[in-house]
Amino acid sequence: MKPDRKVTAGADLLLVNSPLKNYDLSPRRNDFTLPTLGLGYIATCAEQAGLTVDVLDAEALGLGLSKIAALINEARPRWVGLNLLAPTYVHSVKLMQLLDPGISVMLGGHQAKAMPRAILEDVRIPRIDALVLGEAETRVPRLLADLKTRRELPAVYWREAGRAIMPVVRAKDPLLLAPDLDAMPLLDRRFLQQDPYMDGSVLESAMVASRGCPFDCSFCGAAISSNPDVTVRMRRPEGLMAEVRQLRSLYGVQRIRFVDDLFLANRRLIRTTLKAFIDESLDMSWDATGRINVLASAADDLLALMSEAGCREVALGIETGSDRLLSHVDKKINVAQVIQAVVRLCRRGIHVKGYFILGLPTEMRGEHQATLDLIRRLWDLTEGLPGCFRCSVFEYRPYPGTPDWQRLVGAGYSPEAMLKYADSLDDEAFSADRDEFNFSTGLQFGEVPVATVRQNLAAIMREQRRR
């Protein structure tokens, strides 16, 4: 815990990020996780509305369930709010069973949005006073102020007398579902456990520059077809720069990590934003996510502008080395574009982190090998360039609320089996910093057996580490 932070007693709302594992049973091996920005934003907005709020990031703190429950019950907030994600759901359920029955329970996050009815009908959960779908900053303060408003608020459900109550309420005010990012207060970092964070000798903070994604990648919980309520919004450069300046002046932050899906994909706003960075002359660097299709064909002067504006590393979803699979997952890119984008960025001195998925549904052996080959090829092609290429490889896991989910259910996979996780590898490739991604459903979705997927994943990450 930050040394000066204790869980606030008697708060209106205590937001809890459930841990990925029950750390009562074995200690956490990571010492860093990105901050829970979503919970931080809800807390910032609720506090501004005059409520007392706290955030307990149990993953960052490596807390086990009994310890979390003890902290909550001792602090006795009026409400507890839990951020449900597929792999942490089971822990959240256990946690709710340990809570003092006098504490009201609010649920939200991607899993709550993906399967609200199943959650409301999950008899293992003792009580659900509000389940909020989607971005919650504007609705949570209203719920806390007066529970009766849950009948008037759009996309808020609950359980009453053992029954799921899911009224259809039209959003009279569109901001209730998609808050105006430029009108929102700047994120109060006191609510974040490990942010700013000292990465080696550089003080780093995470930021969100946009929300929503117009793409429809089949494995992704942010895909547009699964989130028809989400409008794509990019923060205006003035607001972004105000936050950057604040991070610089309050904490001395030297590097920003934009964690949103598409910081560099918005062709309309990106130039103005980059120019704002340059005009501020803040002497800060930043990392961001981008899209291959945009960066492969971007004008040279845009790449030059990125570099001048302090861009250090771009994270790109490459996913696979097979054009057929790229098309199957609806990635809207091809391997030639991947190579073009990576080489162009590295030539400019911008590092690239490529995300890859092994074991995607329908992946054939040759396609699996093509992904491993593409990683090695990108290492070779960028050897000696001013920017470096590195890979971050994951085993495929299907999540509810993704376009893949229905396809897989239709293909005969059971939802229960797809949501059952076990730790997967005991390998140095997964030591400490990647432990949070080291779990698996154990299900085979392509031609390559799961054991081989895991072996190859560990081997390529070991190779990456040695480089």
> Binding residues for ligand B12, per CB under 6 A?
17, 20, 33-34, 36-39, 41-42, 59, 81-83, 85-88, 106-111, 114, 132, 135-137, 140, 208, 220-222, 259, 261, 399-401, 436-437
Using CA atoms, how far apart are residues 427 and 44, in angstroms rounded to an integer?
40
The least CB distance from residue 187 to ligand SF4, in Å, is 20
436's contact among ligand B12, ligand SF4, none, with CB below 5 to 8 A by partner kind, is ligand B12
Identify the CA nearest to 227 among candidates 108, 403, 85, 82.
403
Residue given tokens 């939802």 in the structure block: 415
The number of C-alpha atoms within 13 Å of 61 and in the hemisphere containing its C-beta is 22
The least CB distance from residue 344 to ligand SF4, in Å, is 19
The least CB distance from residue 284 to ligand B12, in Å, is 20
Identify the CA nearest to 110 among candidates 36, 205, 175, 186.
36
The least CB distance from residue 193 to ligand B12, in Å, is 10
282's contact among ligand SF4, ligand B12, none, with CB below 5 to 8 A by partner kind, is none
Using CA atoms, how far apart are residues 65 and 415, in angstroms rounded to an integer?
25
Nearer Cβ to ligand SF4 (213/244): 213
33's contact among ligand B12, ligand SF4, none, with CB below 5 to 8 A by partner kind, is ligand B12
The least CB distance from residue 256 to ligand SF4, in Å, is 19
317's contact among ligand SF4, ligand B12, none, with CB below 5 to 8 A by partner kind, is ligand SF4
List, in order, residues 6 or more apart from 465 with CB less than 8 Å away: 428, 429
418's contact among ligand SF4, ligand B12, none, with CB below 5 to 8 A by partner kind, is none
Nearer Cβ to ligand B12 (235/312): 235
Nearer Cβ to ligand SF4 (55/220): 220
217's contact among ligand SF4, ligand B12, none, with CB below 5 to 8 A by partner kind, is ligand SF4
Using CA atoms, how far apart are residues 264 and 344, in angstroms rounded to an integer?
15
Using CA atoms, how far apart are residues 296 and 80, in angstroms rounded to an integer?
45
Nearer Cβ to ligand SF4 (37/93): 37
Judged by DSSP in three states, 94 sits in helix
Report how far Cα 379 is from the mean position of its chain's Cα atoms: 27
Identify the CA nearest to 389 among candidates 400, 399, 380, 402.
380
The least CB distance from residue 128 to ligand B12, in Å, is 11
Residue type, 79: W
The least CB distance from residue 353 to ligand B12, in Å, is 12
Nearer Cβ to ligand B12 (383/423): 423
Nearer Cβ to ligand B12 (140/270): 140
109's contact among ligand B12, ligand SF4, none, with CB below 5 to 8 A by partner kind, is ligand B12
Using CA atoms, how far apart are residues 142 and 260, in angstroms rounded to an integer?
26
The least CB distance from residue 360 to ligand SF4, in Å, is 12
Instruction: For strands 156-160 and 163-165, give the pairing.
Output: antiparallel
40's contact among ligand B12, ligand SF4, none, with CB below 5 to 8 A by partner kind, is none
Using CA atoms, how far apart are residues 433 and 417, in angstroms rounded to an integer?
27
Identify the CA nearest to 53 among candidates 192, 239, 251, 158.
192
The least CB distance from residue 332 to ligand SF4, in Å, is 8
List, in order, residues 6 or more apart from 62 with CB less than 8 Å away: 19, 23, 27, 28, 30
404's contact among ligand SF4, ligand B12, none, with CB below 5 to 8 A by partner kind, is none
**Contact positions vs ligand SF4 (CB under 6 A):** 213, 215-217, 220, 222-223, 261, 317
Using CA atoms, how far apart are residues 110 and 51, in angstroms rounded to an integer?
25
Nearer Cβ to ligand SF4 (79/356): 356
Q: What are phi and psi of 319, to 5 degrees?
A: 75, -55
- DSSP letter at 359? S
